[in-house]
């Protein structure tokens, strides 16, 4: 940093004074966070809910602007009744001042204190008048996740988006970010994205699923144990038939073409090992938008910064460990939703309810919260949903052979514009076999997004060297999640640090 | 289906129930208009703009993650650089400007005038 702090940050300092203290702080107001806040407040705790977005709902229940008075009819949503019910409970907590809701606010650092936790806050955008620091005796993190990405030649062209980003755009704006789409990647999530595009008036030239669906067969019973997912799937199947959306399995996008924006997409069928089926390449013209998604990955910087124990889940994502009361390995720290393993909104709601209840019990009775472990019924739901998620992850892996579609000039780190050639070069010539070494050598993962987008690809590309020293895949994943400053912040917020 | 309950928070909104209104701002000096509550990104896309930032190497970028994670969609808003077009609702009179050139991580926080340049991104 080349300038002294005091010469920067000409914004008004945030209000100082003593930072407020809460019994329970919940970070995130998505399915998990809403459930945690409602259940903690209903058990008598004073709760702070901090969320980066403008309004509650998280990614799954992202909806039209309440501030603008737009009524969302829930037609693009699943489980909307569950949301409305949670929202009623949440709002009633706010009305009775049990819940202090701080929207548009990002937690950029979490610290452990002898008596609990300290959270450092920054406005996500615009100005917020809320506190810059809060203290809490117990902390529930429900920060969710984001789309997992793999680079494809041409993916930096405008018009290419994360599949979840398209979904978020439609739900938030009631509009489409393009007109004719190709949706590609893996997982059942590609289906609602395509369905919502056509329901919003767009067209879908193809949905390319890299897996063949045979991975479900040995695990079909796990899908049948979650009938609501089957119903949801049937709805999509009907939408696909009605709108004639081609759904191609074992098909990948090999290249995205365009001059200043997306114009066409090349696809190919692939064999089990990821090699192309000869003669299967085709070009889809007249496409202005592409949605890419290979599942989701949790947003783990706060749990990692606090020292929570992590592991690699069956989908290859780093996730955090919890027990039957959603307690992490750190006393007083509870985790719910995608952080404990990507498993969807229904699971997130149950985990949130358990976490909020346990955190409230711990702080109001001075115990460790273990008296609030999941009830038999909750435990059954959690285990059914987890089993479904595991089946889904195993049936929809990262596609084998994706590395072979990289060219030297393919951009891998979008922020710092580091190419596949540079990453493989650093791996082979400079022994850069993990994410941190890659950062040091060529800045991959050092830009604004801090490796959230390229992290998986850089970890795979650098760790796949024959001479790679990191035979532990956790090394790179942990390095990626280790971001002491969880969100980019204005320097003024550092200047204004108190307590 | 039923209504969204009223946001009962200090930051929450009054539900007007009225027909949605339009808001007007500018993008690089040109008029930009959108339904109230939609994002700056959505307003830009509605005008046919797919990209509004160029990278250090001069490549065009627009929306990517759509949820505030990737920072591809950065614009300058009312003189503050490094603002995410996907997260911010277009506001009445907002002065939105495209972001260009080398103003990415290397340069953020090195004594610019607004003090709103995000920094700390190098810290990890
Ligand atoms: C873009 C996107 C779209 C998705 N759409 C669907 C869909 O249509 N259907 C489906 O089945 N699944 C969807 N998913 C998966 C979905 O995210 C999960 O199933 C579900 O939302 C998980 O709930 P959660 O409460 O764990 O997290 P989320 O819903 O992700 O909520 C996390 C919340 O935490 C906030 N947050 C995160 N970090 C911070 C921080 N540092 N400070 C303050 N606040 C923070 C975020 O703003 C967010 O509101 C989507 C995922 C993404 C990323
Ligand atoms: S599109 Fe990723 S931050 Fe806005």
Q: Which residues does A69 contact at the CB level (< 8 Å), separation at least 6?
A: B13, B14, B15, B16, B17, B18, B20, B36, B37
Q: What is the mean pLDDT of chain A?
A: 91
Q: Which residues does B8 contact at the CB level (< 8 Å), separation at least 6?
A: A91, A92, A94, A95
Ligand 1: residue of A25, A28, A183 to mutate (most ligand atoms within 8 A of CB) is A28
The answer to whether residue B118 scores a pLDDT higher than 70 is no
Ligand 1 in contact with A25 (CB < 6 A)?
no
Confidence tier at A190 by pLDDT (50, 70, 90):
very high
B4, B7, B60 member nearest A260 (Cβ):
B60
Rounded distance from Cα B72 to ligand 2 centre (Å) = 5
CB within 8 Å: B66 and A166: yes
pLDDT, residue B101, reads: 57
Residue A196 CA: nearest ligand 1 atom is 8
For B16-63, write each residue's pLDDT tens digit.
344 569 999 999 999 999 999 999 999 999 999 999 999 988 999 999
Task: Say if CB B21 and CB B36 are below 8 A apart.
Answer: yes
Rounded distance from Cα A452 to ligand 1 centre (Å) = 14
For residue B22, the chain A residue with the least C-alpha distance is: A68
The two tokens of residue A29 are 């107001």
The answer to whether residue A229 scores a pLDDT higher than 60 is yes
For residue A90, the chain B residue with the least C-alpha distance is: B8
For B86-100, write each residue's pLDDT tens digit.
999 999 999 999 987
The answer to whether residue A357 scores a pLDDT higher than 50 is yes
Task: Say if CB A168 and CB B66 are below 8 A apart.
Answer: yes
Task: Say if CB A21 and CB A134 are below 8 A apart.
Answer: yes
Query: Which range, of A106-115, A212-221, A389-398, averages the lowest pLDDT?
Result: A212-221
Mean pLDDT of A132-152: 97
For A219-228, write each residue's pLDDT tens digit.
888 888 888 8
Output the ligand 2 site: residues, CB below 6 A.
Answer: B 63-66, 68-73, 84, 86
- Nearest protein Cα to ligand 1, atom 34: A28
Ligand 1 in contact with A192 (CB < 6 A)?
yes
Euclidean distance between CA atoms B66 and A178, whole angstroms:
13
Distance from CA of B30 to the nearest CA of A (A): 20
**Closest-CA residue to A204 (of A235, A180, A188):** A180
Query: Which range, of A147-161, A286-300, A369-383, averages the lowest pLDDT?
Result: A369-383
Distance from CA of A301 to the nearest CA of B (A): 10
The answer to whether residue B105 scores a pLDDT higher than 50 is no
Task: Say if CB A423 and CB A446 are below 8 A apart.
Answer: no
Complex confidence, ipTM: 0.92
For A305-334, write each residue's pLDDT tens digit.
999 999 999 999 999 999 999 999 999 999
Rounded distance from Cα A145 to ligand 1 centre (Å) = 6
CB within 8 Å: B88 and A126: yes
State the sign of the Cα–Cα–Cα–Cα dihedral A209, A221, A227, A86. Answer: negative
CB within 8 Å: A169 and B59: no
Confidence tier at A54 by pLDDT (50, 70, 90):
very high
Q: Compute the 3-state secondary structure of chain B and give helix, strand, coil in percent, each to the nearest 5.
A: 5, 30, 65
Query: Which range, of A14-18, A273-277, A419-423, averages the lowest pLDDT?
Result: A14-18
Task: Say if CB A35 and CB A352 are below 8 A apart.
Answer: yes
Residue B87 CA: nearest ligand 2 atom is 4
The answer to whether residue A11 scores a pLDDT higher than 70 is no
Residue B65 CA: nearest ligand 2 atom is 2
For A389-443, write each residue's pLDDT tens digit.
999 999 999 999 999 999 999 999 999 999 999 999 999 998 888 888 898 899 9
Euclidean distance between CA atoms A336 and A369, whole angstroms:
15
B5, B12, B89 member nearest A88 (Cβ):
B5
CB within 8 Å: A489 and B122: no
pLDDT, residue A368, reads: 83
**Closest-CA residue to B76 (of B110, B112, B111, B45):** B112
Confidence tier at A230 by pLDDT (50, 70, 90):
confident
pLDDT, residue A223, reads: 81
Euclidean distance between CA atoms A287 and A262, whole angstroms:
7
Distance from CA of B27 to the nearest CA of A (A): 18
The answer to whether residue A302 scores a pLDDT higher than 80 is yes
Task: Say if CB A91 and CB A78 are below 8 A apart.
Answer: no
């Amino acid at each position: 940093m080349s300038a002294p702090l005091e010469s920067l940050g000409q914004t008004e300092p945030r209000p100082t004074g003593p930072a407020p203290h809460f019994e329970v702080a919940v970070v995130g107001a998505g399915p998990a966070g809403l459930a945690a806040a409602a259940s903690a407040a209903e058990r008598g705790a004073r709760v702070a809910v901090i969320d980066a977005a403008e309004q509650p709902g998280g990614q799954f229940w992202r909806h039209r602007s309440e501030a603008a008075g737009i009524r969302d009819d829930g037609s693009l949503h699943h489980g909307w009744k569950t949301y409305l019910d949670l929202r009623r409970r949440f709002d009633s907590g706010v009305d009775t001042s049990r819940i202090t809701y701080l929207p548009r606010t990002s937690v950029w650092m979490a610290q452990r204190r002898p008596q609990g936790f300290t959270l450092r806050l920054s406005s996500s955008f615009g100005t917020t008048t809320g506190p810059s620091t809060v203290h809490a005796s117990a902390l529930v993190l429900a920060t969710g996740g984001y789309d997992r990405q793999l680079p494809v030649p041409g993916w930096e062209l405008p018009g290419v988006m994360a599949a979840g980003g398209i979904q978020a755009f439609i739900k938030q704006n009631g509009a489409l970010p393009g007109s004719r789409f190709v949706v590609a990647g893996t997982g059942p999530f590609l289906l609602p994205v395509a369905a919502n595009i056509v329901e919003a008036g767009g067209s879908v030239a193809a949905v390319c699923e890299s897996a063949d669906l045979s991975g479900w067969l040995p695990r079909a019973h796990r899908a049948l144990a979650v009938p609501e997912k089957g119903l949801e799937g049937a709805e999509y199947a009907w939408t696909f038939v009605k709108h004639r959306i081609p759904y191609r399995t074992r098909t990948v996008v090999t290249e995205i073409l365009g001059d200043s924006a997306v114009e066409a997409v090349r696809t190919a069928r692939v064999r089990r090992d990821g090699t192309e089926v000869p003669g299967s390449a085709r070009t889809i013209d007249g496409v202005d938008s592409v949605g890419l998604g290979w599942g989701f990955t949790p947003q783990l910087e706060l749990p990692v910064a606090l020292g929570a124990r992590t592991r690699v889940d069956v989908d290859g994502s780093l996730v955090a460990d919890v027990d039957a009361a959603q307690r992490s390995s750190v006393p007083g720290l509870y985790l719910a939703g995608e952080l404990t393993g990507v498993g969807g909104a229904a699971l997130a709601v149950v985990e949130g309810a358990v976490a909020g209840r346990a955190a409230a019990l711990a702080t109001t009775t001075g115990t460790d919260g273990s008296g609030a472990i999941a009830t038999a019924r909750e435990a059954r739901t959690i285990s059914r949903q987890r089993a479904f998620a595991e089946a889904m992850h195993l049936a929809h892996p990262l596609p084998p052979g994706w590395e072979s579609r990289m060219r030297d000039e393919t951009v891998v780190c979008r922020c710092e514009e580091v190419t596949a050639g540079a990453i493989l070069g650093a791996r082979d010539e400079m022994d850069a076999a993990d994410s941190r070494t890659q950062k040091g050598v060529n800045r991959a993962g050092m830009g604004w997004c801090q490796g959230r987008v390229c992290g998986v690809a850089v970890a795979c590309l650098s760790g796949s060297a024959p001479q790679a020293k990191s035979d532990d895949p956790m090394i790179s994943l942990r390095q990626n999640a280790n971001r002491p400053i969880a969100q980019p912040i204005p320097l003024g917020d550092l200047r204004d640090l108190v307590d | 289906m039923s209504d969204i309950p009223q946001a009962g928070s200090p930051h929450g909104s009054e539900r007007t129930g009225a027909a949605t209104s339009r808001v007007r701002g500018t993008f690089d000096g040109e008029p930009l208009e959108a339904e109230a509550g939609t994002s700056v990104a959505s307003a830009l896309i509605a005008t046919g703009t797919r990209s509004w930032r160029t990278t250090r190497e001069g490549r065009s970028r627009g929306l990517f993650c759509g949820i505030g994670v990737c920072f591809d969609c950065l614009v300058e808003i009312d003189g503050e650089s490094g603002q995410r077009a996907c997260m911010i609702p277009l506001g009445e009179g907002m002065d939105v400007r495209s972001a260009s050139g080398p103003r990415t991580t290397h340069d953020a926080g090195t004594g610019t005038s607004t003090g709103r340049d995000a920094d700390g991104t190098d810290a990890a």
